Structure 1
Amino acid sequence: MLVTLAGTLALVGAVSGAYYFAMRPVTLRIAVGPQNSDDLKLVQTLTQSFAHSPVRLRALQTDGAVASAAALAEGKADLAIIRGDLTVPKNAQAVATLRKNVVVLWAPPPKAEKGKKAAPKITKIQQLAGKRIVVVGRTEANVNLLKLILRQYGIDASKVEIAQFPAGEAADAIRNQRADAYLAAGPVNSKITTDAINASIREGASPTFIAVDAAAAISQNFPAYEAAEIPAGAFGGSPARPEEDVKTLSFSHHVVARKGLSEATVAAFTRQLFSVRQALLTEFPLAAKIETPDTDKDAVIPAHPGAAAYVDGEEKSFLDRYSDYIWFALMGLSLLGSVGAWFASFLKKDERSSNASVRERLLDMLTAARQSESTDELDRMQAEADAILRETLTGFEQGAFDLGSLAAFHIALEQFHNAVADRKMLLANLPQHLQRTGLQLRSTGGL
């Protein structure tokens, strides 16, 4: 019983410990940047929203998507927000698509210099050869994206002057400096892109939006990009900017997790992320664009098993995850109980042997009682039987033998008492001279 109790307590403790270990709050480091970016602000808001949730966040600020990807690759972060068109770390698995960005390429209205005819309006990418193009934002990824587009159209990037403006200073820079075309990459409703487009308006004339007609071909060769369209009026204004849909490229920003991160933890994080998405819309309208990851096997960034389990409705409960361990623990407890029972039985074998000998003695006394010719002898045997009874009850209380052995002893004791009582009654009914004769014969061996 003690062994079984100890095993049960150990099992309960193990299950309780496993439950606490599985359900305790987990803090994940998420790499995000740059400073003052919408991504960083969103992560800071999520950190506050998850303050009392099973999965919590700690922002690890970086210089941008490239640095965030490096932090994940080096194991300094558990999660990261990266650009899908950059080199994706080998240990990265998709958790969610944070947003989709579109490439916006536009040319300001041509400005006629005094005494000169205005330059022709730029409407096609082929006309950008030999021109000055300004890229909004300091990230090198946008410059590489521009070069990719130019190369698709057979334009040597070395023959194009490329400059960059910080995203926060783009509008002022566009007003004060001259360029033949501009490129920005961001969400369709990006304030930075909208302000930059508005800053390029001259004398009330709207800029010209340049279509990337080869977007489908580019996406075939570079799966990180997709062919997309900028809807008419996406940037407001009157007339609408643009006046009609414009073909372009798009790419995604992803929330990725380190490969090997607990499936249950990532599933819980994914569930929390999509549960608070609606609550973030007031402060972050872009939160409405958060989408579940692509769970297809041929996805550009493979989905983390935990995120895939949430998306496919196959998220495992505590019992699902640990049922095998609990089953093995129960089997171990059963084995422990069997070993304990054998060991206890081994320790009690001497006591069982003693009880068996006592029972045999009682049976011998039963035979002797039926042949006894003296009440004094019967009284002595009765006293011995009482001592045997006391010893037997003590042994039973100490667990020396089971209830079945006690029942057998009880039957033998009862038969002994009956034999003593019957023999005393018989002796009491015999004349005194016959009792004396019987004793004499017995002492000489005649009976």
Structure 2
Amino acid sequence: MSSSNDTSKASDAARRWRRRSNSLLLVLAVGFLVFVAAAGALYYALKPEVLRIAVGPRGSDDHRVIQAMEDAFASESRTIRLSPLATDGAADALALLGAGEVDLAVGRGDLEMPADAQTVATVRKNFVVLWSPSGPAGQSPKRRHPPKIKEIADLAGHRVGVIGRTPANAALLRVILSASGVEPGKVAISHFSTDHIDELARDLTIDAFMAVGPLDSKITSDAIAATARARGEPKFLPIDASEAIALKHPRYESEEIPPSVFNADPAWPDDKVETISVNHLIMARKTLSEATVAAFFRQLFAVRQAIARQVPGAAHITKPDTEKDAELPVHRGAAAVIDGNERTFLDRYGDYFWFALLLLSAIGSAGAWLRRYLNRDDREDNTSHRHSILAMVSRARAAESNQELLALQRDADAIISETLECYDDGAIEEEELTAFGLVLELLRHAIVERRAELQGGTPEPARGGTIRHSLTPRA
């Protein structure tokens, strides 16, 4: 009998050890998963986001600005990186944006925009400069004839040399002609690339010239100076219909060219000249994250001065107009930074925190269920032990000697020890331990009463005793 009990106890001990090992492995597995999830979230949060940006053509002012921006972001930023993609021109860059192949694109404001394109920043403002030569260079002032073209209305029947081969410049000239009362079909247009300015200046079939660029553009200044050397002092043609053009075509703005802005000897023009302008813009897809665009916008203006030291054209980068009636809407990420109502970290990720809490709660409930499932044998043993103690109560009341009562007490002590180990392991709850204590108290009274009867005395409440003290949970 003793050998059978020892074998049963050894089997129970081995089973408890396996359960403890399983519980430990479960805790380690959950801890590892939590660590991996936290490490992954931290890596994702700290990993720089790479934005693809299309710009062109290669070697243009815009391309050089974006290259300098890429270098500045790589050396001074930990949040956003740029990956430039060179294209044949601004129209191709915008086409890539519309196709979803890039996140950002540099494009001219009067080009056809993708349906979901929104403005992030203004790269530069391009002014339209129109001028005509006064006559052959070196001609005596007394013999110099007044210029054939004094205003835009005089361009009918003449040829205009346009610097830059982009079709957008020719389209812009036709808008100006129509608004000025000139039939666009009556004006011939010749395109010249920016590296053929001397050829443009020597072409005597050209009666007027047009350039579109920033006021400090070297290309525009060189073109004016070259035509002045070859054809005489320039006559700048004002665009008197600039305000009407801006009203009819909101992507253009009415502007003025200040006096003496083009450095030459002498400086030109003599007086301010009315004209229009069109912006080169950094555009983003509407679906691009608000937080991403806001981070890009902040970084751009944080490194703008550093970029301008490498590429002077970067000094023209400005914030877009956030007016609600703007022709091209501003991306909500850039608008939030400009207007000072950018959402905080909790505003952006509060929903994720609530979801994480719900997820952790669900994981906790699942873990509790799993623990109860793994400890189901211990709970069944605890129930069996209660039944055993109830059976021992009947045996105690029918005991014939103190030796039988002592044997029952030793068996009860063994059961108490095993039960407390299960409690310490978390296999049984405190409520189950309380129920176990009730039947144990019943056994204690039965043993005390039967011992008193065997000794022929009156039973007294037991003070302490093995059974009573053994029920106290161990720390």
Q: What TM-score bracket applies, with the shorter chain setting the length?
A: 0.7 to 0.9
Q: Does 1:240 align with 2:267?
A: yes
Cα distance between partner residues in 1 of 2:446 and 2:223: 118
Contact 1:7 1:333 in 2 (8 A): no
1:182 is aligned to: 209
1:56 is aligned to: 81
Q: Does 1:31 align with 2:54?
A: yes
Q: Does 1:375 align with 2:402?
A: yes
Q: Which moved more, 1:180-189 or 1:315-324?
A: 315-324
2:146 is aligned to: 120
2:299 is aligned to: 272
2:460 is aligned to: none
Could you tell me how far 1:100 is from its partner in structure 2? 0.6
Instruction: Output aligned runs, 1:44-443, within 5 Å.
Output: 44-52=67-75, 53=77, 54-111=79-136, 118-121=144-147, 122-175=149-202, 177=204, 179-202=206-229, 206-316=233-343, 319-342=346-369, 344-345=371-372, 348=375, 351-352=378-379, 354-359=381-386, 361-362=388-389, 365=392, 369=396, 374-406=401-433, 409=436, 413=440, 416=443, 420=447, 424=451
Unmatched 5+ stretches in structure 1: 431-447
Residue identity opposite 2:103 in structure 1: D
Residue identity opposite 2:96 in structure 1: A
Could you tell me how far 1:172 is from its partner in structure 2? 4.8
Paired residue secondary structure (1:282)? helix
Cα distance between partner residues in 1 of 2:219 and 2:119: 27
Residue identity opposite 1:33 in structure 2: G
Cα distance between partner residues in 1 of 2:320 and 2:285: 15
Cα distance between partner residues in 2 of 1:95 and 1:203: 42
Change (3 A) 1:373 1:43: same
Change (3 A) 1:364 1:226: same
2:473 is aligned to: none
Contact 1:4 1:337 in 2 (8 A): no
Could you tell me how far 1:411 is from its partner in structure 2? 6.8
Cα distance between partner residues in 1 of 2:39 and 2:339: 29
1:439 is aligned to: none
Change (3 A) 1:71 1:373: closer
Cα distance between partner residues in 2 of 1:416 and 1:119: 131
Q: Which moved more, 1:273-282 or 1:392-401?
A: 392-401
Contact 2:61 2:313 in 1 (8 A): no
Could you tell me how far 1:235 is from its partner in structure 2? 0.5
Unmatched 5+ stretches in structure 2: 1-22, 458-475
Residue identity opposite 1:210 in structure 2: L
Percent of paired sites with the same residue: 47
Contact 1:136 1:183 in 2 (8 A): yes
Contact 1:15 1:326 in 2 (8 A): no
Contact 2:133 2:234 in 1 (8 A): yes
Deviation track 1:217-273 (CA, whole Å, cap 9, x = no partner) reads 111111111100001111023543111111001110001112322333222222221
Cα distance between partner residues in 1 of 2:422 and 2:175: 93
Could you tell me how far 1:120 is from its partner in structure 2? 2.7
Residue identity opposite 1:142 in structure 2: N
Contact 1:80 1:255 in 2 (8 A): yes
Residue identity opposite 2:315 in structure 1: A
TM-score of the superposed pair, with normalisation by structure 2: 0.79
Contact 1:206 1:241 in 2 (8 A): no
Residue identity opposite 2:120 in structure 1: V
Contact 2:160 2:206 in 1 (8 A): yes
Cα distance between partner residues in 2 of 1:417 and 1:144: 105
Change (3 A) 1:278 1:426: same
Could you tell me how far 1:318 is from its partner in structure 2? 5.1
2:463 is aligned to: none
Residue identity opposite 2:355 in structure 1: F
| Count of residues paired in the alignment | 429
Cα distance between partner residues in 1 of 2:119 and 2:205: 41
Could you tell me how far 1:372 is from its partner in structure 2? 5.3
Contact 2:156 2:182 in 1 (8 A): yes
TM-score of the superposed pair, with normalisation by structure 1: 0.84
Q: CA RMSD in A?
A: 3.3
Contact 1:172 1:199 in 2 (8 A): no
